[in-house]
Amino acid sequence: MDMSFSPEELAFRDEVRTWLAEEIPPSIRDKAEVDAYFDMKEVMEWHKLLYRKGWVAPHWPAEHGGPGLDAARRFILTEELELAGTPHLSPFGLVMVGPLLMQFGTEAQKKRFLPKILSGDEVWCQGYSEPNAGSDLASLKLAAVDDGKGNFVLDGQKTWTTYAQYADWIFCLVRTDATAKKQAGISFLLVDLKTPGVTVKPFLTTGGTPAFCETFFEGAVVPQENLVGPLHGGWTIAKALLGHERTLIAAVGLSARAIKRVKRIARAQKQDGRPLLEDPAFRTKIARLEIKLRALQMANYRALAGAALGHAPGPESSILKIRGSEILQQSFELAMEIMGHNSLAWFNEPGVVPPLEQWVASTFNYNRATTIYGGSNEIQKNIIAKLILGLPS
């Protein structure tokens, strides 16, 4: 066991840092500096820059256009990108449906979809939740009926379809057998969002940004060649995907940035004529949160190291989602507390509050979602209780 990097790995890290220092466009750099909200145009601009460098999908194997990095380099690249504060790439293609197609897709599907996921020429979103299928996802109802002419006809609704308004494709869990036991009648289907009968309606979150959409299907005709895996076999695929999502939501890099920003805000905010950062009570409060993060970071390293060796995600990976989402929320809560009156301001012209504090209130609100999405933390605990602790049901 060794936590230090080899000279070659350190050289690679320097290469990444140098590239980042030179290649981040000024508009993105300015926003990264204050952790402002990136719109989809900026996200995709960054996606394409990384694509041209060959680093857009660190975890993809070389045969599908990945950079063919070993575990340590993949780890370094991912961490440096997170720490630089550059736009978080849309995960739906790169992290979710891409790897899933590699595992379950046909050769034709891989050839058709993977290159455009990688290049960013096609943007994906996820169609899982429905108004009445949240934590109980398997009760989903979006009907896909065989029309006898090689198509499915879709009728129903998805919701929480993140960034569907910017997406070209959606991967959906659909009901292909209404009579089977609920998990057994589900299939995994790829749908072109330009299909007639598909409508996307964005809605605002409490953070004031349009992150989510409702997506409606009214007699939308989808060719059966877009089915991934066996008919009625979608639930198994969905479960494989949730594993990918779980490590994604640990968000260790985001929390590290958030805690650093907390310290910078605390350095600027004054009480009794001195920076809050020098107030022992506030300081130990921040320290407590940072220690929580270090514990999670170390648990994350252990999980990543295990995954790199090809082990199934160990018990430590299941805690990442729960704790990562909590810590991210707590770091923004602490920032709001330290901001004092400035925490009251809501989407004003620049200058009302310092740039560093401009986006905190929005993210503080939006981040209430982190303990809910990707399977709420309560659902995660049900899963751990059953699968890891072996408690009876």
As annotated, the active-site residues are: 245
Among 323, 330, 367, 375, binds other proteins (CB under 8 A): 323
Judged by CB under 8 A, the stretch of 141-149, 197-205, 262-270, 367-375 that binds other proteins is 262-270
16 makes contact with other proteins (CB under 8 A): no
Q: What angle do CA 161, 165, 171 make, to 5 degrees?
A: 45
Instruction: Return the H-helix or E-strand segment holding 191.
Output: strand 186-192
Judged by CB under 8 A, the stretch of 152-160, 223-231, 260-268, 360-368 that binds other proteins is 260-268
Identify the CA nearest to 82 among candidates 237, 217, 260. Answer: 260
26 makes contact with other proteins (CB under 8 A): no
Distance CA 364, CA 334 (A): 10
Q: Specify the long-range contacts of residues 44-50, CB closer than 8 Å, at least 24 apart.
A: 44/120, 44/123, 46/86, 46/87, 46/89, 47/87, 47/89, 47/90, 47/120, 48/119, 48/120, 49/23, 49/25, 50/81, 50/89
204 makes contact with other proteins (CB under 8 A): no
Among 11, 178, 298, 344, binds other proteins (CB under 8 A): 298
Number of residues that bind other proteins (CB under 8 A): 57
Contact 333, 361 (CB under 8 A): no
Q: Least separation, in Å, of the C-beta of 75 and other proteins?
A: 7
Footprint on residues 356-385 left by other proteins (CB under 8 A): 378, 381-382, 384-385
- 348 or 393: CB nearest other proteins: 393
Footprint on residues 73-102 left by other proteins (CB under 8 A): 75, 79, 83-85
Identify the CA nearest to 335 among candidates 258, 254, 277, 276. Answer: 258
Q: Counting Cβ atoms within 10 Å, is residue 315 exposed (0-12), middle (13-18) or buried (19+)?
A: middle
Write out the two tokens for 171: 């991967």
Footprint on residues 240-259 left by other proteins (CB under 8 A): 253, 256-257
- 319 or 336: CB nearest other proteins: 319
2 makes contact with other proteins (CB under 8 A): yes
Judged by CB under 8 A, the stretch of 115-123, 172-180, 278-286, 339-347 that binds other proteins is 278-286
Contact 35, 257 (CB under 8 A): yes
Strands 124-127 and 169-175: parallel
Judged by CB under 8 A, the stretch of 45-53, 190-198, 209-217, 276-284 that binds other proteins is 276-284
Distance CA 62, CA 69 (A): 8
- 189 or 277: CB nearest other proteins: 277
Q: Counting Cβ atoms within 10 Å, is residue 41 exposed (0-12), middle (13-18) or buried (19+)?
A: exposed
Judged by CB under 8 A, the stretch of 60-68, 121-129, 217-225, 280-288 that binds other proteins is 280-288
| Matching residue, tokens 């066996």 | 230
Distance CA 381, CA 71 (A): 29
Q: Least separation, in Å, of the C-beta of 383 and other proteins?
A: 9
- 33 or 146: CB nearest other proteins: 33
- For residue 221, list its beta bridge partners: 153
- 6 or 271: CB nearest other proteins: 6
Q: Least separation, in Å, of the C-beta of 11 and other proteins?
A: 14
φ/ψ (deg, to 5) at 100: -65, -40
Identify the CA nearest to 358 among candidates 335, 381, 334. Answer: 335
CB atoms within 10 A of CB 80: 19
- 196 or 390: CB nearest other proteins: 390
352 makes contact with other proteins (CB under 8 A): no
- 270 or 302: CB nearest other proteins: 302
Judged by CB under 8 A, the stretch of 44-52, 195-203, 292-300, 337-345 that binds other proteins is 292-300
List of residues contacting other proteins (CB under 8 A): 1-6, 9, 72, 75, 79, 83-85, 253, 256-257, 260, 263-264, 267, 277, 280, 283-284, 286-288, 290-292, 294-299, 301-302, 305-306, 309, 315-316, 319, 322-323, 378, 381-382, 384-385, 388-393
